[in-house]
Amino acid sequence: MVSELAGPLMKQYKPLLRMFVFCCFGGVLASAQFACNRAPSPPAPPASTTPDPQREVNEILERYTTAVGGQTAIDRVTSYRAKGRFTTSLFQMTGEYEVWSKQPNKTLTVIQFPRIGIVKKGFDGETRWVQTPSATLNDESSSGMAEVDKDADIYGAGRIKNLYESMRFEGKARLNGREVNMIEGKPVKGPVEKLLFDAQTGLLLRWDMVRRQAKRGNVFVKVSLDDYREVDGVKVPFKVRFAFESFELKLIIDELQHNVPLEDAMFEKPATTR
């Protein structure tokens, strides 16, 4: 049944597949690496009575690092396995996913789609690949995933400051009844993005981001992070919601393990199936 349905369904769901893999790697949100700014802290500026916008940005990001557990606890995480569920308003679809990651740059995502079957996406440090029920493709033959792969690298590094040419404190606002500190990030190219941090806890609650996808241009998405839980001294959002312009996708983590032993072979591209 899967083989009979895979062809037409894969074509029908192709935009969703790309978006889901984008989100799933953004769902490396589940990893401790994403949850902090690894850029070295700048020297403290001289005391001044005049507010320093850049210092405010640095203080918010440093507080975020502390809120999720601190740099020492974050640095102890060298690998992880996350397992969970997803729901999306597009096609009213539900399914399961599992993600493995190993430093410095190896990732594997396995997604169980209803009626389609299993879709895998991996990176062994050199080769990016996608395996569907009908074929195994590398990044050259799967050009539609190229921008997604670039984002996966960024998320795995977790260097929020390094995403932007400049960042500035935009002020305070309210989000779902909570006071938040807003930071505006300006990338080298493209529209500005906004990051909203809980003024009380310091945790990142929402990220209004823009990502470039092949043949689609800019993709706007509001990423909401919720249900932070402490795992091995690091706080991780167990619920992540992606609000696109025309549909929503929700990821829920059911299981999360840090520093699991992972063999390099599991991230390698499988044999071509066609």
Q: Could you state, in order of their start, the residue ranges of all structural domains in the chain?
A: 2-39+53-267
Contact 165, 186 (CB under 8 A): yes
pLDDT recorded at residue 168 = 94
> Burial level of 104, CB count in 10 A (0-12/13-18/19+)?
exposed
Amino acid at 198: D
Amino acid at 152: A
d(CA 158, CA 265): 24
Which residue matches tokens 């083989």? 3
Residue 55 CB neighbour total at 10 angstroms? 14
pLDDT recorded at residue 84 = 92
Amino acid at 174: R
Contact 41, 243 (CB under 8 A): no
Q: How many Å separate Cα 105 from the centre of its chain?
A: 14
- CATH number assigned to the domain with residue range 2-39+53-267, chosen from the 4 options 3.60.40.10, 2.50.20.10, 3.30.70.3270, 3.90.79.10: 2.50.20.10
173-180: long-range contacts at Cβ-Cβ below 8 A with a sequence spacing of 24 or more? 175/205, 175/206, 176/205, 178/205, 180/205, 180/206
pLDDT recorded at residue 89 = 86
d(CA 249, CA 237): 15
pLDDT in tens, the chain (274 residues): 333 334 444 444 455 555 555 555 444 333 334 444 444 444 444 444 456 778 899 999 889 988 988 888 888 889 999 999 999 887 788 999 999 999 888 989 899 988 888 889 888 999 988 888 888 887 554 443 344 344 433 333 236 777 889 999 999 999 999 999 999 999 888 899 999 999 999 999 999 988 766 666 788 889 899 999 999 998 988 998 989 888 898 989 999 999 999 999 999 998 764 4
